[in-house]
Structure 1
Amino acid sequence: MTEDVRLADELRALGVRRGATLLVHASLGGTALRAETLRDALLEVLGGEGTLVVPAFTPENSATSSAHLRRVAGLTESERTAFVAAMPAYDPALTPCLGMGRLAECVRRSEGALRSAHPQTSFAALGARARELVEGHPVTSHLGDSSPLGKLMETGAEELMINVGFEVCTSFHLAEYRIPDTPLRKYRCVMRGNGRSEWFEYQDIELDDSDFELIGADFPRMRMREGKLGNAAAMTFSIGDAVDHAVKWMTEKRR
């Protein structure tokens, strides 16, 4: 049995079906999986009516994110100023998402892929519903109902996690927008505007994934499928189920 056929069979065993819309998180380090082979197997199982979506986040494209602050830590004031001045503006067609793993970058660079315009939390998609899902991503909604993540929930999409745990479950962030009094914070990103790089400031909720592992530990196993892709652990579940569970958990237990 060839690798692509085996992967397709394993994806179907995990509940991935033809015509589905699927958000995939993957960390391929330490596995035998190759990004291009996995992408092709996913597209084969989803078929022409399906859609493959990946997070294509770029948190370093910011002056306020923890990723940016780590990069400038230890620099003098003049060095920091020069670093910020030289930062390239976010470009959906060109800005890599290397921190999201090899599969995400592979999908982003694939022929026909579309990507949302958010300078920090964009999504890339291939397939029938790609344009519908990624267009109109407002800067002031990283991962809210008007973002691609919100649209994924509305369409009944599933989430596939490969070699990663719930601590990086993007769907839980959508729950944060549904909790009363979630604090706001200021963000500052560099974007392309008027033919040049421009810094843009905006407010959105303060995203907090510090308790996601605990939320995932309480997620009912009956609402997910667990299995293997090659030598990597994998699980699938409904984004709607994940958000509903996280809203309840945060309402009861998050301080």
Structure 2
Amino acid sequence: MSEYGSIANTPLPRTRTSLAADFRRLGIARGNIVLVHASLSRIGWVAGGPVAVIEALGDAIGDSGTLVMPAHSADWTDPARWQAPPVPADWIELIRAEMPAFDPERTPTRNMGRIAELFRSWPGVRRSDHPACSFAARGPLAETILADHALESPLGEGSPLARLYELDAHILLLGVGLERCTMLHLAEQRAWPGRRSHVEGAAMLVEGRRQWVFYRTPPLVDADHFLSLSTPLQAANLVRTGMAGSAPCLLLPARTLVDFAVDAWSGMPLPE
């Protein structure tokens, strides 16, 4: 939507103050650990844009809370596997030789949205060191959540998602649906363990020097199958719904969501 359209469809400007109040009404409280997936455009016209949204989230959880967002960089992967779009075969070795090393401070996110892209460089934010599936966090539990992000477990037991599960964090889907919920990839791996991994690669810093590193990683299936959980979760009263500005929101406890999904999927065939 254009900015003209955003203004025309917003009754009043969304602000840091109004959004913080919306988050509190939804159930976010001081001291919470919150993993946020967000669409800025769905909120309506915001005075201050993504800055105001991040500040409002910080106001809702306070200094004792910890805010987490995905900071994935899907283009810091092996070009031999790129599909959307693929690159010519004779480019692959050159890309592997010249791609800059992943740097948590400088490498941009890809397709994460303006809020997550701003948050990764926000003062006081730390970022895990996985080249493709990093997470960014700010707050007293940031280091605990982000530490030791295993290269071979981008979204599994060796990832920040598992730490968020252990801490029973909240998941806020701000203007997005369950198909954007990365926590469900952890459930996916628990429901269908032992899937054959594939070889991935990235340019990384190893003892201070750039190297191309190959590693193995579990496959991910199309996240659209996450949407099948929407109705059962609502029926079980496991999700809180509300609005932040014009954006419909879902707030879910991470541990309950993962356990529910594993129970629902276990014994089912793996989605295509």
- TM-score, normalised with respect to structure 1: 0.91
Per mean C-alpha deviation after superposition, the further-off stretch among 27-36 and 14-23 is 27-36
Instruction: Say if 2:137 and 2:146, in contact at 8 Å, map to a contact too.
Output: yes
Q: 1:81 deviation in Å?
A: 3.3
User: What CA distance in whole angstroms lies between the structure 1 residues aligned with 2:196 and 2:155?
Assistant: 15
Match of 1:218 among 228, 232, 235: 232
Q: Name the structure 1 match of 2:122.
A: 110
Query: What percent identity do the matched residue pairs reach?
Result: 33
User: What CA distance in whole angstroms lies between the structure 1 residues aligned with 2:163 and 2:92?
Assistant: 38
User: What CA distance in whole angstroms lies between the structure 1 residues aligned with 2:264 and 2:22?
Assistant: 31
Deviation per residue, 1:152-207 (Å, 9 max, x gap): 11111000001111111111111123133333222222211243321212222212
Asked if residue 10 in structure 1 is aligned to residue 22 in structure 2, the reply is yes
Instruction: Say if 1:175 and 1:246, in contact at 8 Å, map to a contact too.
Output: yes
Q: 1:178 to 1:169 in 2, by over 3 A?
A: same
**Stretches of 4+ moved more than 4 A in 1?**
none
Match of 1:184 among 192, 197, 209: 197
Q: Name the structure 1 match of 2:257.
A: 242
Q: Name the structure 1 match of 2:171.
A: 159
User: What CA distance in whole angstroms lies between the structure 2 residues aligned with 1:32 and 1:145?
Assistant: 38
Q: 1:138 to 1:80 in 2, by over 3 A?
A: closer
Match of 1:61 among 76, 79, 88: 76
User: What CA distance in whole angstroms lies between the structure 1 residues aligned with 2:19 and 2:79?
Assistant: 40
RMSD: 2.0
What are the residue-to-residue correspondences of 1:10-29 with 2, within 5 Å? Answer: 10-29=22-41
Q: 1:206 to 1:78 in 2, by over 3 A?
A: closer
Instruction: Say if 1:59 and 1:65, in contact at 8 Å, map to a contact too.
Output: no
Q: 1:54 to 1:248 in 2, by over 3 A?
A: same
Gaps of 5+ in 2: 1-12
Q: Name the structure 1 match of 2:140.
A: 128
Partner of 1:70, secondary structure, is: coil
Partner of 1:29, secondary structure, is: helix
Instruction: Say if 2:75 and 2:110, in contact at 8 Å, map to a contact too.
Output: no
Asked if residue 231 in structure 1 is aligned to residue 246 in structure 2, the reply is yes
Asked if residue 44 in structure 1 is aligned to residue 59 in structure 2, the reply is yes
Instruction: Say if 2:79 and 2:86, in contact at 8 Å, map to a contact too.
Output: no
Gaps of 5+ in 1: none
Aligned positions, number: 252
